[in-house]
A and B are shown apart, each in its own frame.
Chain A
Amino acid sequence: MHIDARQSVNGSLIEGDICIVGAGAAGISMALEWMNTPYKVILLEGGGFDYDEKVQELYSGKTTGQHYYPLKSSRLHYFGGTTGHWAGFCSTFDHIDFINRDWVPGSGWPISRKELDPFYERAHKNLDLGPYNYNVDYWQKNDPQLKSLLSDNQIIWNKIWQFSPPARFGHKYKDTIVQSKNIHLYTYANVTGITASENASQIKEVTVKNYAGKEHTVRAKIFVLACCAIQNARLLLASDKQASKGLGNDNDLVGRNFMEHLEINSGELWLEKPNALKLYGFDFGVTKARAELAITEKSQTEHKILNGTLSLTPLSMANSMKPMIDIWTSSDPRKSLDSMISSFQKAGMEAAKNPGANTGKSYQLFTRIEQAPNPSSRVTLDTEKDSLGVPRATLHWELTPLEKRSIRKINELLGQEVGREGIGRVRMLEYLQDEKDHSWPAFTGGGWHHMGTTRMSDDPKTGVVDANCKVYGIGNLFMAGSSCFTTAAAPNPTLTLTALTLRLSDHLKQQIKSKA
């Protein structure tokens, strides 16, 4: 069922069993799980079914610290969320990503990788991914041309990525959601505040507003915030009537530990003999799976580094490509996307002009790496409010020397391995050459992956949500999505946030049944 909240009678009271705030990958995945159940689900989406500049504008905000993309264009604010322009990169987090690592402050999830396994498999269906198999042997069996760069995997192994077509949730699930009898999708329903009980132990209702000047109230037994890591934190912080520091923020953790994936050129791989390295190649819309060069758990532990991977692009092509941070500059996400696509096309054309330049012997190394949890890297509220009266989000993105040391070590390890196997050499870029230099080059960028602002922990002093994504101290408020990530791992977050959402959904089903 679909209701446009702009058309509803002003001051409507909407009631349901579960209220899901946000209709992106997490919110829609959650809603789908509750279809055809006896429960009334209210799914609130701030935008409509298409891009709306006025709604998108609500995501504007300032950034400080490490140079970042415009906040307004780093997420999409309409039904389907950022799946509306994502590239479909998916991989699972590793065992090491969930454990406590004494060299990574704040690491250690209260759940294990094994616990997520069945949910990863289920999430594959939501995201139109292939078989739930991330073993390189499986993919090599299907295509013998997918040969490994290295013969030894003690230090570096082949971590498989799978590619969603990509699944655009807005298109893929619109009809299903709209036709559902028990899912009540409200578009143009921006949540502007959350009202808790007097002692802030229960959520009573949320207020929704839109540009049509309508204001409605939504009441439910359970509330799930699924509006992305920045907006989840923003909403909690802005809801300060019953809790002066914001909901769930007794320990001053909401908004802190914002994490991104650093995605940055880091070096060059030079091979003695030409090698097309098909296993590591990516052709948008064609490639189903590819590998990135990852560092084994043992080696990460030995060198006390963060988890990260290296992808390979022929140098002849990569040399014509601009860094993302220089391309994705418009606050209009459509313009930034166009700029990115045209940059790729231009690089492709440049490479095509001189096909002989691709000798198969030189590759650009691109490091994708987790950012360590850092309380100073955070989302706060600005004094300026958006046009619906909610304080805007401000992002202070802050990196630490650990990220840089890890990038350097990952590239060095590859250099040692290709040298050891006698197949090539690695050259690290200049910014990595001085071990004492902790600064970041101007081309440092992220993957548009926002994580960690309502982090999961088994201790309310170190986390906003518990192992079931429930906000500490509030009985019926849950967070869905990457804001719950304790650490960021190396892979793009969509698969894991979807899996985590399905796990949350199962938990809520159990809870609601037991209460009934």
Chain B
Amino acid sequence: MKRKTFIYLSVTGAVATSLSSLYCHNPAGQWKTVLSQPEFLSHICDAKTISGIGNAYRSLVLTETKADQLVDLLMTDKGGNSISGTQDSSSIIAFINQNIEKDFKTGQTLVVSGWVLSVTEARQCALFSLA
């Protein structure tokens, strides 16, 4: 599958608003679309495969089965830094990719459906599977 074009994310609003509620308040799905695109995997897998990985992840990690939980986790890194919803999509992608890189460097990886993935990209798949 060709990687879907990331939709420009234009979200304004109070930064203090929790990320999950941002997600909830944006049913149009911009957040979801950006966050649920595991960049590398989308180069080599079709949507069905990514969705399958996501389903498997949610079966594996029972505390991360809901979209708002996954969004919260994806928008915050291990150091507690989070990305604001006001950022454009490329900033969000960069943030996510940075976290994927950190995951691999710090051993935050797991095997889902046979794929050796960073936790962050596995969460992206999980979010994708909920779309």
Interface of A toward B, CB cutoff 8 Å = 267, 270, 272, 361-362, 411-412, 414-416, 419-420, 422, 424-430, 432-433
7 CB < 8 A contacts A-B: A412-B109, A412-B116, A419-B109, A420-B101, A425-B44, A432-B114, A433-B114
Which B residues lie within 8 Å of A272 (CB)?
40, 43
Indicate whether B126 reaches chain A with its CB closer than 8 angstroms: no
B115 contacts A425, CB within 8 Å? Answer: yes
- Known pairs A267-B114, A412-B111 / 18 extra A-B pairs, C-beta < 8 Å: A270-B44, A412-B116, A414-B116, A415-B116, A416-B109, A416-B116, A419-B109, A419-B116, A422-B101, A424-B40, A425-B115, A426-B115, A427-B113, A427-B114, A427-B115, A428-B115, A430-B114, A433-B114
Most buried by B among A362, A415, A419, A428: A419
Smallest Cβ distance from A218 to chain B, in angstroms? 56
A425 contacts B117, CB within 8 Å? Answer: yes
Which A residues lie within 8 Å of B117 (CB)?
415, 419, 425
Q: In the complex the two chains form, what is the Cα distance from A430 to B113 in whole Å?
A: 8
Indicate whether B95 reaches chain A with its CB closer than 8 angstroms: no
Q: In the complex the two chains form, what is the Cα distance from A270 to B104 in whole Å?
A: 16
Smallest Cβ distance from A269 to chain B, in angstroms? 10
Which B residues lie within 8 Å of A426 (CB)?
115-116
Nearest chain B residue, comparing its CB with the CB of A271: B44
Which A residues lie within 8 Å of B111 (CB)?
412, 415, 428, 433
Q: In the complex the two chains form, what is the Cα distance from A420 to B107 in whole Å?
A: 9
Nearest chain B residue, comparing its CB with the CB of A414: B116
Q: In the complex the two chains form, what is the Cα distance from A419 to B100 in whole Å?
A: 9
Nearest chain A residue, comparing its CB with the CB of B106: A420
Nearest chain A residue, comparing its CB with the CB of B44: A270
Nearest chain B residue, comparing its CB with the CB of A415: B116
Smallest Cβ distance from B48 to chain A, in angstroms? 14
Indicate whether B118 reaches chain A with its CB closer than 8 angstroms: yes
Given known contacts A425-B117, A427-B115, is B107 in contact with A416 (CB within 8 Å)? yes
Nearest chain A residue, comparing its CB with the CB of B56: A433
Nearest chain B residue, comparing its CB with the CB of A419: B104
Interface SS of chain A: helix, strand, loop or mixed? mixed
Task: Out of B44, B105, B109, B113, name the residue touching A415 (CB < 8 Å).
Answer: B109
B114 contacts A428, CB within 8 Å? Answer: yes
Which B residues lie within 8 Å of A419 (CB)?
100, 104, 109, 116-118
B101 contacts A425, CB within 8 Å? Answer: no
By Cβ-Cβ distance, the 4 closest A-B pairs, closest first, are: A415-B116, A420-B104, A428-B114, A419-B104
A433 contacts B116, CB within 8 Å? Answer: no
Smallest Cβ distance from A40 to chain B, in angstroms? 60
Indicate whether B41 reaches chain A with its CB closer than 8 angstroms: yes
Q: In the complex the two chains form, what is the Cα distance from A422 to B43 in whole Å?
A: 13
Q: In the complex the two chains form, what is the Cα distance from A428 to B112 in whole Å?
A: 9
Smallest Cβ distance from B31 to chain A, in angstroms? 25
Most buried by A among B40, B100, B116, B117: B116
For chain B residues 108-130, which have a beta carbon within 8 Å of chain A?
109, 111, 113-118
Given known contacts A416-B107, A422-B101, is B44 in contact with A428 (CB within 8 Å)? no
Which B residues lie within 8 Å of A361 (CB)?
44
Nearest chain A residue, comparing its CB with the CB of B109: A416
Task: Out of A414, A416, A425, name the residue touching B40 (CB < 8 Å).
Answer: A425
| Chain A proximity mask over B80-107: 1 for CB below 8 Å, otherwise 0 | 0000000000000000000011001101
Q: In the complex the two chains form, what is the Cα distance from A270 to B42 in whole Å?
A: 12
Q: In the complex the two chains form, what is the Cα distance from A267 to B117 in whole Å?
A: 14
Smallest Cβ distance from B53 to chain A, in angstroms? 10
Q: In the complex the two chains form, what is the Cα distance from A98 to B99 in whole Å?
A: 41
Smallest Cβ distance from B100 to chain A, in angstroms? 8
A425 contacts B41, CB within 8 Å? Answer: yes
Q: In the complex the two chains form, what is the Cα distance from A426 to B44 in whole Å?
A: 11
Q: In the complex the two chains form, what is the Cα distance from A411 to B41 in whole Å?
A: 18
Q: In the complex the two chains form, what is the Cα distance from A422 to B41 in whole Å?
A: 12
Nearest chain B residue, comparing its CB with the CB of A432: B114
Which B residues lie within 8 Å of A429 (CB)?
114
Smallest Cβ distance from B110 to chain A, in angstroms? 9
Q: In the complex the two chains form, what is the Cα distance from A6 to B43 in whole Å?
A: 68
Smallest Cβ distance from A314 to chain B, in angstroms? 15
Smallest Cβ distance from B129 to chain A, in angstroms? 17
Q: In the complex the two chains form, what is the Cα distance from A362 to B43 in whole Å?
A: 12
Smallest Cβ distance from B98 to chain A, in angstroms? 11
Given known contacts A270-B44, A272-B40, is B116 in contact with A428 (CB within 8 Å)? yes
Q: In the complex the two chains form, what is the Cα distance from A415 to B111 in whole Å?
A: 9
Smallest Cβ distance from B87 to chain A, in angstroms? 22
Smallest Cβ distance from B37 to chain A, in angstroms? 15
